[in-house]
Amino acid sequence: MDHAQSAAQPLRALPCGQPLTGRIRVPGDKSISHRALMFGALAEGLTRITGLLEGEDVLRTAAAMRALGGEVVQEGPGAWHVRGQGRGNLAEPADVLDMGNSGTAARLICGILASHPIFAVLTGDASLRRRPMKRVTEPLSACGARFAGRAGGRLPLAIEGAAEARPLDYRLPVASAQVKSAVLLAGLNAPGETRVEEPEATRDHTENMLRHFGAEVSVEVRGTGRLIRLAGQPTLTAADIVVPGDPSSAAFPLVAALVVPGSEVTIRAVGLNPLRTGLFTTLREMGADLTISGERIEGGEPVGDITVRHGALQAAEVPAARAPSMIDEYPILAVAAAFARGTSRFRDLSELRVKESDRLTATAALLAVNGIRVEIEGDDLVVHGSGGTPPPGGGMVETHMDHRIAMSSLVLGLGTRAAVTVDDAAFVDTSFPGFADLMRGLGADMARP
């Protein structure tokens, strides 16, 4: 059922009368969870996955890979196995593939399907059907695939994969890990070398996982960007995966601890891929007391434990070049900036306009309705901090079916003078199952209004 058709679930966060304390784990990394299921289905043999995020978005990917012929089985909480038939051997799905709210799943699966000679139709919920898909369908068409969708290439989208796929050579006009990954996934089933050049380095989970499953991938740094080369038609061999905690999910309890006086929270086994940790860099620049311990490598990805303590924050100016490493974290960073001394400016957030919602406008609105001065200047977000005193709060936030807007608003409410309410928290489970319960375990007060 469309989320839009299901009953709204409003939720209210009350100002904390006590510090937030505890040691927690956040759900598995969403980006890595999607890719683990996809690569497991494309590889030969049995891949075991531990720590898989079991949110709605990832479960849609699991269902899609099952429909494409993979054996995808849950063995226990976070523990799954995928038995693949090998690259090039996907089955034509018998029904429409419903990707729910997940833009990552929809775009990456477009890449997989583009170079397989099968027909498929993708759809999604009302939010996903509004999101642009031309950014992947246009480059993928060059491999020989054909796409038919609504205006702007939007879902529902019919895909006729190439009978004899051609390798791709594509320069991304804007930095996007999803577009890069879609092109590389299409290149897996094409002969010769597929090349992708990105203007700014974006998260490289796809490249890491390609190597983990036996593909030959090289990366050449070119200024602030990179050129990725993939040798086509490799034999992908099953490989076990440990999914680290999602740094994008860790951001919410982390910022909550920063803004609630007296708090100290440790988040264990968080992914520390340097192309995902722009938020941690920015918060440190703002004066956050944030330490990392127990650094290690798990499944080809760096992992560590993050401890954060409440303290005064200073305003920051975040350069546009940092956006790819923290694109999902701007709403919660804006919440941190609302408590800081001074005026923060986050530059060139145009990419936020095509997320689950127009996330730039929605972020400004969640602050404004809670008495925080904020402006959008071009594609920059400008947040005037409260100077160390709690912002007013008291607002009702329209989430626009966006899980990150909902969670950011609820974190804001833990530190404001009056409670903050969101119109609907139903979508939070797409990326962070059990968010409210985890926050309550730290001492937060979140309840239905």
Beta strands in 165-251 (DSSP E): 169-171, 193-198, 217-222, 225-231, 241-242
DSSP category for residue 139 = H
Domains plus CATH for the chain? 3-28+244-447 (3.65.10.10), 30-167+178-190 (3.65.10.10)
Q: Using one digit for the tens of pLDDT, what is the confidence trace for 98-107?
A: 999 999 999 9
pLDDT band at 1 (very low <50, low <70, confident <90, very high): very low
Note the pTM of the prediction, 2 decimals.
Answer: 0.86
Q: Would you call 328 a catalytic residue per the annotation?
A: yes
Mean pLDDT of all residues in 33-50: 97
Residue 274 is encoded by which pair of tokens?
């340097």
Structural tokens at position 447: 């309840």
> At residue 335, what are phi and psi to the nearest 5 degrees?
-65, -45
| pLDDT for residue 29 | 94
Angstrom distance (rounded) from CA 135 to CA 113:
16
Angle at 107 between CA 57 and CA 276, to 5 degrees: 70
For 152-171, what is each residue's pLDDT tens digit?
A: 889 999 999 999 999 999 99
- Provide the pLDDT for residue 297: 86
Contact 258, 231 (CB under 8 A): no
Give me the numbers of helices (H) and strands (E) for the chain, helices first please: 13, 24
Q: Which residues make Cβ contacts (< 8 Å) with residue 278, sequence separation at least 6?
A: 318, 322, 323, 324, 325, 326, 329
Closest CA to 237 of 2, 18, 42, 17: 42
Catalytic residue among 29, 328, 424, 429: 328
Mean pLDDT of the chain: 95
Helices (H), 22-83: 30-42, 56-67
Residue among 232, 165, 162, 164 at smallest CA distance from 196: 232
**Predicted pLDDT at 41:** 98
Statement: residue 2 has pLDDT above 70: no
Tell me the mean pLDDT in the region 396-406. Answer: 94
pLDDT digits (tens, 9 = 90+) for 3-28: 444 689 999 999 999 999 999 999 99
pLDDT in tens, 256-278: 999 999 999 999 999 999 989 99
| Both tokens assigned to 389 | 């005193």
Alpha-carbon span 232 to 287, nearest angstrom: 46
Please report which confidence band the pLDDT of residue 132 belongs to, taking 50, 70 and 90 as the band edges: confident
Q: 285: number of CA atoms within 13 Å, CB side?
A: 15
Please state the length of the chain: 449
pLDDT band at 431 (very low <50, low <70, confident <90, very high): confident
Q: pLDDT tens, 68-79? A: 999 999 999 999
Which has more pLDDT, 401 or 66? Answer: 66
Residue 221 has pLDDT above 60, yes or no: yes
Whether 436 has a pLDDT exceeding 80, the answer reads yes
List the beta bridge partners of residue 52.
Answer: none
Exposure b/e, 13-35, CB count within 10 A at least 16 = b: bbbbeebbeeeebbbbbbbbbbb
Residue 357 has pLDDT above 80, yes or no: no
pLDDT at 446: 97
- For 210, the enclosing helix (H) or strand (E) is helix 205-212
Q: Among all chains, which residue has been given the structure tokens 């990725």?
A: 228
Section 229-248 average pLDDT:
96
Span 351-377, average pLDDT: 91
What integer pLDDT is reported at residue 4 of this predicted model? 43
pLDDT tens column, 193-210: 999 999 999 999 999 999
Name the percent of the chain lying above pLDDT 90: 88
